[in-house]
A and B are shown apart, each in its own frame.
Chain A
Amino acid sequence: MTATSKAEVREPELGRLQVLLYRLGVPLLAVITALALGALAMWASGSDPLVAYKGLLDGSFLKTRAFGETLVASTPYLLLALGVGFGFKCGLFNIGVEGQYYIGQILAVWVAINVKGLPLYVHLPLVILAGMLGGAIWAGIPGFLKVRFGAHEVITTMMLNYVSFNLCDYLVGLKGPMRDPRASVPQSRPILASAQLPRLNELPALMANPLARIVVALLVGLVLYLLFRLVTRYGFKGRLSKLNAGIVAAVSLALAAGAWLLLGNLASFGGAFVDKGSRLHIGFLIALAMSVFMWWLLYKTTFGFEIRTVGANRDAAGYAGINITRNVVMAMAISGSLAGMAGAIEIIGLDRVLKSFFSAGYGFDSIAIALLANSHPLGSIVSALLFGALRNGADLMELRSGVSKQMISVVQALILMFVAAPAVISWLYRIKAPRGEKAASVTSGWGK
């Protein structure tokens, strides 16, 4: 064997570490650089960047309720970014998550108002499913148009955005079918109590009902069980995979019993559980669970393998016998269903009433979030938290330092720019891209 092959044998561990460092390092440096440039802009315009960033930090994490509000803002960000990222993984640019988000809200609210007489633990999932269905249909249409007629999804999803915005306006507008006749502003009737996503401060009261407590405790147990299974199967290089599934189930059941006890005494934990002003709802937990689920779906299942293959090389996917048409439509539908879920959770957790269209700008921010995370479902958690914090802290930053909160948009735009052009970061910090590591190419054309 020659010197080269010896080097090749020695290298892999280091090589993989390098790749990992590069993948994590570039987004991190992008964020730091963007914040530094933002500071420079503040300083140049006569404000003190330190005061501004302290305000940002206080407003997003340190002040009372700040962290809770950051989580509230991060929840739709995370779900939407999961949706956008899933599309990216299949080579699709679903730019219309904002529209799918509104359709999700419309359908969720309709079900939340008109399906009566169900208990919370049936009605709530139903409402969320309705939101997902709405988003799935709204994104599935462009997916179908793409595979059937070659219409590019960027155009069609964007156009459907406007349809959904105006549909929302019509439904709750003057003489609209969903409008609350007693309300003075254009909005729907409030949703039923059984469809309200519980806020943490509502949980102690809800858990007074023993049935609800048992259902929730079992749910907690189930989630923990699945988490254990995931960790034992994929963590620790599979060393624990031989662990008896029965033991895991028993431990989970025990934990579920423990959860049952704890749930009864939530009020004694204080914090957001008793804070009447807190808007923190359990949506963030759902979003977290969805991130883990999407990660598993993308990287550990044959379905995810197909989606990624179609995204990475459509010709090779065809050669490998993967049904491209079906995967493209499915990827769009799933991407849209996550957006619809974001809309549903947002509206049943916060406003609890459908208002006429006012863009919260979540949809377009989430594209940046997905890009920052390189479309990775777990990475999206971190980048969604970052964007949620920036959004949430902006007000206090403006109040304290006089820096316009639009500066946050500038910082976000800079982050996106550096992530989209990693060569800038590599050049700035003299980092070399490892071999085989290319700039993120997000989508590919259809056609030949």
Chain B
Amino acid sequence: MPLALEARGITKRFPGVLANDKVDFQLEQGEIHALLGENGAGKTTLMNILYGLYKADEGEILVDGKPITMTDPKDAIRHGIGMVHQHFMLVPVMTVAENVMLGDETPTPRSAWMGPLSHLNVKAVEEKIRELSTRYGLAVDPTEYVQTLPVGVQQRVEIIKVLYRDARILILDEPTAVLTPQEAQDMFKIMQSLVDQGVSIIFITHKLKEVLAIADRITVMRAGRVVGSTTPAQATEAQLAAMMVGREVILEVKKGEAQPGAEILKVENLSVIDDRKHKAVRGVSFAVSAGEVLGVAGVQGNGQTELVEAITGLRKAESGHIHLGDTDLVNHAPRWVFEHGTAHVPEDRQKHGLVLSYSVRDNLTLVSYYQPPFSKGGVLEEDFIAANAAKLIKEFDIRTPSAQTAVSTLSGGNQQKVIVARELNRPVKLLVAAQPTRGLDVGSIEFIHHRIIEQRDAGCAVLLASAELDEILSLSDRVAVMYKGEILDILPIKEATRERVGLLMAGVQEQR
């Protein structure tokens, strides 16, 4: 097969980091080439170089065998390279057609002489979108407004945007991160049909199952270097994980039988209203005992977020009770909840969990800065704070140049480790973890799962809310499934098969 795209000896340095170290990468015509690696392995840097966003310090890029130079994404598009970013770049109040032509507006032939005042040739654009849509099985209506479209369709609009500009090489940056399992399956079908029509795809991900399911070839990066290439036929999940992390990784969480003790958290008839004044949690009741993990499964947006926020004090409950031991937590401030033995790993780590402009050190004291020995008489004890940070950085293996480094420069996995380190740095009776591994790499996921089980075994009650069914099934001792604000059922882990939980997540309740 001829090569569609080739990168030779790409090196890119950032202050303090060698992001790409003599990277060679070859994309054959009409293949899906998965680029696998942990966060911070250099995947995104490489792609940004291929897309013209960064300039490589060394190395060259060849398209169809000819060396090219790029100074910005426009050059990349001219060479037929298109990128679909993880975060969509769409204008919600515009139609699909308007979004697609944005930046490349074509006037109608008759009004072209009017320059900036000419009529937009919306009809022609819509026509082309329809054509692309049927050719690649994208099923997108060009006249619909983007804000009314589900996430999966918005992503297809992004793909159309790229195809509309005649891209023959597609870079998909973690395309399945925002999709439901069904939508991800649709996405794979689309990718297959794109490839069948001669498009070449670079598929960036860290989900091993997906790679094995869809890719033709796999390249694994670690610490800025390509550590190897393989094919799905030759590789197993465990091998790929080991290549990514650089050592053997235990994908299955090893844990013994739960030893449930006294009841720690008891939620009774809890109802919570969300920001849009809708009832997000409707009369939920459950209990978590010491030494067990209760997993809350459910498709995103079925009230898990609001449930967690109500328990941790971030959101007022409308009615009901939350008991932590003998204390009633309901509608107390977050600090009060903390002080009564709760640790909270929040769902959105950059919004709630961290102050991004602060150093690692300050983020590690974010919730306890006011207590001795972190401060005395209202004055921060910098020596203790520094020692505490040094201890936690070592203990939780937080990869940071120094304790003074701004936490915004760390990778997602290390940011999450900062939060987990901080929350588990005090005696806790209850650990509430919401989406604790969302967007993290294999190594960090393994680490955080290990810590959660460690807490359980130490006699802590754990409430785990996650949209990743795998995570729920591998960590939980009991599984509660939420659907439209209600808990449909709570299953012991032995009875919680993937199919049964999946049906409950879709709102199908079986007859007992």
B402 interface hit (Cβ, 8 Å): yes
- Which residues of B from 290 to 316 have beta carbons under 8 Å from A? 314
Taken together as a complex, chains A and B put the C-alpha atoms of A16 and B21 apart, in Å, by 24
Report which of A312, A318, A434 forms a contact with B358, defined as CB distance below 8 A.
A312
Taken together as a complex, chains A and B put the C-alpha atoms of A302 and B17 apart, in Å, by 34
Give the segment of B60-68, B88-96, B188-196, B379-387 that binds chain A: B379-387
- Which residues of A from 2 to 35 have beta carbons under 8 Å from B? 2-5, 7-9, 11-12, 14-16, 18
B275 interface hit (Cβ, 8 Å): yes
Report chain A residues within 8 Å CB of B375: 301-302
B147 interface hit (Cβ, 8 Å): no
A4-B18 contact, Cβ under 8 Å, with A315-B352, A319-B346: yes
Total interface residues on A, CB under 8 Å, equals 39
Taken together as a complex, chains A and B put the C-alpha atoms of A435 and B16 apart, in Å, by 9
Report chain B residues within 8 Å CB of A320: 334-335, 366-367
Report which of B15, B344, B408 forms a contact with A18, defined as CB distance below 8 A.
B15
Taken together as a complex, chains A and B put the C-alpha atoms of A434 and B15 apart, in Å, by 7
Please tell me if the beta carbons of A318 and B15 are within 8 angstroms of each other in the complex: no
Report chain A residues within 8 Å CB of B14: 435
Report chain A residues within 8 Å CB of B378: 301-303
Please tell me if the beta carbons of B405 and A15 are within 8 angstroms of each other in the complex: yes
A392 interface hit (Cβ, 8 Å): no
Taken together as a complex, chains A and B put the C-alpha atoms of A5 and B15 apart, in Å, by 13
B338, closest chain A residue (CB): A321
A309 interface hit (Cβ, 8 Å): yes
Min Cβ gap A362→B in Å is: 30
A148 interface hit (Cβ, 8 Å): no
Report chain B residues within 8 Å CB of A64: none
Report which of A15, A300, A313 forms a contact with B16, defined as CB distance below 8 A.
A15
Please tell me if the beta carbons of A11 and B223 are within 8 angstroms of each other in the complex: no
Which of B21, B222, B354, B380 has the largest count of A CB atoms less than 10 A from its CB?
A: B380
Min Cβ gap A241→B in Å is: 8
Taken together as a complex, chains A and B put the C-alpha atoms of A185 and B409 apart, in Å, by 61
Please tell me if the beta carbons of A316 and B18 are within 8 angstroms of each other in the complex: no
B164 interface hit (Cβ, 8 Å): no
Please tell me if the beta carbons of A3 and B354 are within 8 angstroms of each other in the complex: no
Please tell me if the beta carbons of A316 and B399 are within 8 angstroms of each other in the complex: no
Which of A15, A316, A319 has the largest count of B CB atoms less than 10 A from its CB?
A: A319
Taken together as a complex, chains A and B put the C-alpha atoms of A241 and B379 apart, in Å, by 15
Taken together as a complex, chains A and B put the C-alpha atoms of A316 and B366 apart, in Å, by 9
Report chain A residues within 8 Å CB of B333: 321, 323
A2-B223 contact, Cβ under 8 Å, with A302-B378, A316-B351: yes
Report chain A residues within 8 Å CB of B145: none
Please tell me if the beta carbons of B406 and A9 are within 8 angstroms of each other in the complex: no
A228 interface hit (Cβ, 8 Å): no
Report which of A302, A316, A322 forms a contact with B380, defined as CB distance below 8 A.
A302
Min Cβ gap A99→B in Å is: 30
Please tell me if the beta carbons of B380 and A301 are within 8 angstroms of each other in the complex: yes
Please tell me if the beta carbons of B356 and A313 are within 8 angstroms of each other in the complex: yes
A316-B15 contact, Cβ under 8 Å, with A11-B401, A238-B382: no
A433, closest chain B residue (CB): B15
Report chain B residues within 8 Å CB of A315: 348, 351-352
A357 interface hit (Cβ, 8 Å): no
Please tell me if the beta carbons of A8 and B399 are within 8 angstroms of each other in the complex: yes
B447 interface hit (Cβ, 8 Å): no
B143 interface hit (Cβ, 8 Å): no
Interface 1/0 per residue, A421-438 and B, CB below 8 Å: 000000000001011101
A182 interface hit (Cβ, 8 Å): no
Please tell me if the beta carbons of A302 and B355 are within 8 angstroms of each other in the complex: no
- Which residues of B from 374 to 420 have beta carbons under 8 Å from A? 375, 378-380, 382-383, 399, 401-402, 404-406, 408-409
Min Cβ gap B124→A in Å is: 38
B370 interface hit (Cβ, 8 Å): yes
Taken together as a complex, chains A and B put the C-alpha atoms of A313 and B357 apart, in Å, by 9
- Which residues of A from 403 to 443 have beta carbons under 8 Å from B? 432, 434-436, 438
A305, closest chain B residue (CB): B369
Taken together as a complex, chains A and B put the C-alpha atoms of A319 and B347 apart, in Å, by 11
Please tell me if the beta carbons of A321 and B335 are within 8 angstroms of each other in the complex: yes
Which of A11, A16, A302, A315 has the largest count of B CB atoms less than 10 A from its CB?
A: A302
Please tell me if the beta carbons of B16 and A11 are within 8 angstroms of each other in the complex: yes
Please tell me if the beta carbons of B402 and A12 are within 8 angstroms of each other in the complex: yes
A436-B334 contact, Cβ under 8 Å, with A5-B223, A302-B369, A315-B351: no
Report which of B314, B358, B405, B408 forms a contact with A319, defined as CB distance below 8 A.
B314
Report chain A residues within 8 Å CB of B355: 309, 312-313, 316-317
B52 interface hit (Cβ, 8 Å): no
- Which residues of B from 336 to 361 have beta carbons under 8 Å from A? 336, 338, 344, 346, 348, 351-358
Report chain A residues within 8 Å CB of B334: 318-321
Min Cβ gap B297→A in Å is: 24
Inter-chain pairs besides A301-B378, A321-B338, 11 sampled, C-beta below 8 Å? A2-B224, A4-B224, A12-B401, A303-B378, A312-B356, A312-B357, A313-B354, A319-B314, A319-B353, A321-B336, A323-B333
Query: Can you list the 7 inter-chain pairs with the closest CB atoms, starting with the nearest?
Result: A321-B335, A11-B16, A12-B402, A436-B406, A436-B409, A2-B223, A319-B352
Task: Provide 15 A-B residue pairs closer than 8 Å at the C-beta atoms, listed in order of the A residue.
Answer: A4-B223, A7-B18, A12-B405, A15-B15, A15-B405, A16-B402, A301-B380, A303-B378, A309-B366, A312-B358, A316-B352, A317-B355, A321-B367, A322-B335, A435-B14
A-side residues, CB < 8 A to B, are 2-5, 7-9, 11-12, 14-16, 18, 234, 238, 241, 300-303, 305, 309, 312-313, 315-323, 432, 434-436, 438, 448
